[in-house]
Amino acid sequence: MTYTLDAFVKDTQATLKADTGSGGRQKVRGLLEKLLTNKAFVDEAVGPAAPIGTRKLYEDKELGFVVLAHCNPKPHRSPPHDHGASWAVYGQAVSYTDMSEFRRLDGGDGAGEAKLEKVRSYRLEPGQAGVYDVGAIHAIDYPEGSRFVRVTGRDLDHVRRLKFDTAAGKAITIESATAGAN
């Protein structure tokens, strides 16, 4: 039987009710990878006929998680950023996304002076997903036509987050749904 968005949502709800921590998020990563094996879902959500841009596929009113489709017409490289009090699971559907993870060296956790160290870089290929826990600093870099599904713990339109200007050594507060360009 094909694994559908509805099944993914129900399984994610059950998973996050049972484990609100990192273990639950890792299970959501596995569920998202399972969903990405459904060719019909991928075609409908992020395939060639899907609308360009970002759109909400589902928002859970009780638990707060959001499932988003990202259809990217142009290449993009984000600055290092976090998702504040939220977490995210990125699931690659089409093309690839290069991910980099960072550690903050200055001991801070807010805006202001900030020094980062890159600790890991890797590529998400179609069918693979990665977890970025609460406060995890990461950057994404994808080519034209890259498409992915992202699950966030909360609607990022309402989450205060940070982006990092590594050249200036600064952490900057952002409050929008995008990490912006550096």
Q: pLDDT tens digits for 58-111?
A: 999 999 999 999 999 999 999 999 999 999 999 999 999 999 999 999 988 889
Cα–Cα dist 7/110, whole Å: 38
In a domain, 179, yes or no: no
* Dist CA 57 CA 67 (whole Å): 5
Task: Provide the strand spans (E) within 75-136.
Answer: 76-77, 88-94, 97-104, 112-113, 116-124, 129-132
List the domain range (segments joined by +) for residue 20.
5-174
Q: Is residue 182 part of a domain?
A: no
Indicate whether 131 belongs to any domain.
yes
| Inside any domain, residue 87 | yes
Tell me, yes or no, whether 130 lies in a domain: yes
Its pTM stands at 0.91
Q: How far apart are CA 56 and CA 68, in angstroms?
A: 5
Distance CA 177, CA 116 (A): 22
180 located within any domain: no
Total number of domains in the chain: 1
Helix axes 22-35, 5-18, angle to 10 degrees: 170
Q: Which CATH number characterizes residue 123's domain?
A: 2.60.120.10
Q: Using one digit for the tens of pLDDT, what is the confidence trace for 5-14?
A: 999 999 999 9
What mean pLDDT comes out for the span 172-177?
75
Residue 24 resides in a domain: yes
